[in-house]
Amino acid sequence: MRRLARGPRSEKVPALVATACTLIGLLDIAAGVFPRFRHSRLHALAADLLPGALGPYAAALAICAGVLLLLLAHGLRRRKRRAWRAAVVLLPVGALAQFTYRHSLAGLVLPLLLLALLLGHRSEFTALPDPRSRWKALTNFLLMSAFSLGLGTVIVSTHPAHVVGDPSVTDLLTHVVYGLFGAEGPVDYHGRTSWLVSTSLGALGLLTALTTIYLALRPEHPVARLTAEDEDRLRALLARHGARDSLGQFALRRDKAVVFSPSGKAAVTYRVVSGVMLASGDPIGDVEAWPGAIERFLAEAEAHSWTPAVMGCSQTGGEVWTRESGLDALELGDEAIVDVADFTLSGRAMRNVRQMVKRIERAGYTTRVRRVRDLTPEELDRVRRAAEDWRGTDTERGFSMALGRIGDPADGDCLIATAHLADSEVPGPYGDLKAILHFVPWGEDGASLDLMRRDRAADPGMNELLIVAALQAAPALGLTRLSLNFAMFRSALARGEQLGAGPVLRLWRGLLVFLSRWFQIESLYKFNAKFRPRWEPRFVVFRSSRDLPRIGFAAMQAEGFVTLRLPRFLRPTRACPHQLHARPAAHGSPTGAHPHPPEGPRLAP
């Protein structure tokens, strides 16, 4: 792996500003909450000059300014223009509140120094807003309510010398809740402390309400989606250059966005997840035009201050990405590709697969392999409904190596392999249908596995049966190669079990085997190896090593392994089956094609 020159923009100033903003926000909150923060050399002088009634209001204002500065710190780190504008307004407000209540020269000077730094480097903060929806208002309400309850509990507990009586924990919490709504609670204080606490709690409640209302009423900025025109242009590029990459067809997912090269001869599709601009596979189109599409991709990431990353590109794609963008590449795993001409069930190496297929066939199972356009509407509807109901989780999984739908009229070249059991004593809701494999085109002579679904009541081995059926039917369909599953860290697993493997490699393999209890990394590799494929490495492309955890988390969100969801009763209804976002099942996810999927959160398709 090599590291090339980074982009022209430095991240030092935004990072420094974000850190300083966090510290000043905490200082503002502490100044408004803790009485001891009021002691300073200027306290006596300021107390004589400033009206005492301003104290509670200034404390509440300091708390609000501090909370908002904490919320803005992340946006400043990402160079967001709107965060810069808000910080420029809040810093002098917080400084004034601190000086009025705390009478601190440092509390006045430090925010003003940060304000000068922001004004002097205004050109660093030009990033455009992220996609957003009004669901963020609900998220803000829940998080701010929890934060306000916590901070409010601290506020009511930091004046023990002024409390009347001995209130219980329940009384304190009740007082916080009442105070957030601007009402008097069961706790009372001597002197002006009661006014101070009530004003601070009321300010927190008002801040929670105002930020939620603002987020709910501001215009939506929807996530970019693939338009019909974009899809037509991508299909034209795939018709000319689709044979180069087995993942090319997955660029047609309609929950992705796309940027084209200036010539229009190449494109990069992507999705933005948690501030990461996540592309998948190689650029689409003419290799000579890839640099133009990559440049547009990086310019879009720069404009929004998104973290650029690519999941699952080929070796050629990785070389072009690192050469043109200055990014780094790391091997992620290997793709299993079976050449149809070389596949046979004969021989000792294929004994287990051969025996399993023969046993299932003797049990009465039959298979059919057809193009989607050759299925009748009734058959296609049955396949869609079965794929929806046989999915093991509430959340559809898939992004980098899944198409996200079955049976769309525009996808007539896709391949469907089905297993049937006509002699079943108790026919299911889908007749004799027992298992499904869905392939997408890979040029004119290849197919790439998209998803695998099966009836849980069917005999084990449905996946092996249908893969063998697809390979045997391939010559009649004009196919010479089939891309199967993607095996994460395959080379490490393979080398780690060889004789003479070193301690580091053995330790790494042991960790992967341990993780396989949840992600089936090892079992998927062994399942792929049954078909004697050739292995093609796939890479993740990233900007900096410190971005890898963030990219990994975003990728798991995109693939559906980590879901940040609303409570079930607040969720919208599930999409119709014909709009499936297919799981990476088998092409892209470590939970994909386990021959006997276990029940539970690691459920495979």
Query: What CATH superfamily classification does 345-478 receive?
Result: Gcn5-related N-acetyltransferase (GNAT) (3.40.630.30)
- pLDDT value, residue 260: 96
Tokens 């599409």 locate to: 293
User: If pLDDT is split at 50, 70 and 90, which confidence band does 474 have?
Assistant: very high
Residue range 249-275, pLDDT digits in tens: 999 998 899 999 999 999 999 999 888
Half-sphere exposure of 481 (CA within 13 A, CB side): 18
User: If pLDDT is split at 50, 70 and 90, which confidence band does 30 have?
Assistant: confident
User: If pLDDT is split at 50, 70 and 90, which confidence band does 582 have?
Assistant: very low
Rounded distance, CA 512 to CA 490, Å? 10
**Mean pLDDT (whole number) for 434-463:** 91
- pLDDT value, residue 597: 35
**Mapped to the 3 state alphabet, what secondary structure does 118-155 carry?**
HHHCHHHCCECCCCECCHHHHHHHHHHHHHHHHHHHHH
User: If pLDDT is split at 50, 70 and 90, which confidence band does 318 have?
Assistant: very high
Rounded distance, CA 387 to CA 381, Å? 10
The answer to whether the beta carbons of residues 537 and 331 sit under 8 Å apart is: yes
Residue with more model confidence, 465 or 585: 465
- pLDDT value, residue 518: 67
- pLDDT value, residue 322: 92
* Residue (of 24, 38, 30) closest to 101 by Cα position: 38
Distances (CA, A) of 157 to 141, 170, 204: 24, 12, 16
- pLDDT value, residue 222: 60
User: If pLDDT is split at 50, 70 and 90, which confidence band does 37 have?
Assistant: low
Please tell me what DSSP assigns to residue 398: -
Ranked by mean pLDDT, the top range of 62-76, 98-112, 296-310, 394-408 is: 296-310
pTM above 0.75, yes or no: no
Q: String of b and e for 47-74 (b: at least 16 CB within 10 Å)?
A: eeeeeeeebbbbbbbbbbbbbbbbbbbe
**Mean pLDDT (whole number) for 373-395:** 85
pLDDT for residue 453 is more than 80 = yes
Residue range 179-202, pLDDT digits in tens: 888 888 888 888 778 878 888 888
Second-level CATH architecture of 228-337+490-496+503-559: 3-Layer(aba) Sandwich (3.40)
C-alpha Rg value of the chain to the nearest Å: 30
Pairing of strands 481-488, 446-454: parallel
Domain ranges of the chain: 7-128, 132-220, 228-337+490-496+503-559, 345-478
The answer to whether the beta carbons of residues 583 and 437 sit under 8 Å apart is: no
The set of residues, in sequence order, having a beta carbon less than 8 Å from that of 531 and lying 6+ positions away, is: 336, 338, 343, 353, 467, 471, 484
- pLDDT value, residue 525: 80
The answer to whether the beta carbons of residues 519 and 602 sit under 8 Å apart is: yes
**Mean pLDDT (whole number) for 228-237:** 94
pLDDT for residue 288 is more than 90 = yes
As given in the structure block, the two tokens for residue 331 are 């091997």
C-alpha torsion 83→86→87→88, nearest 10: 120
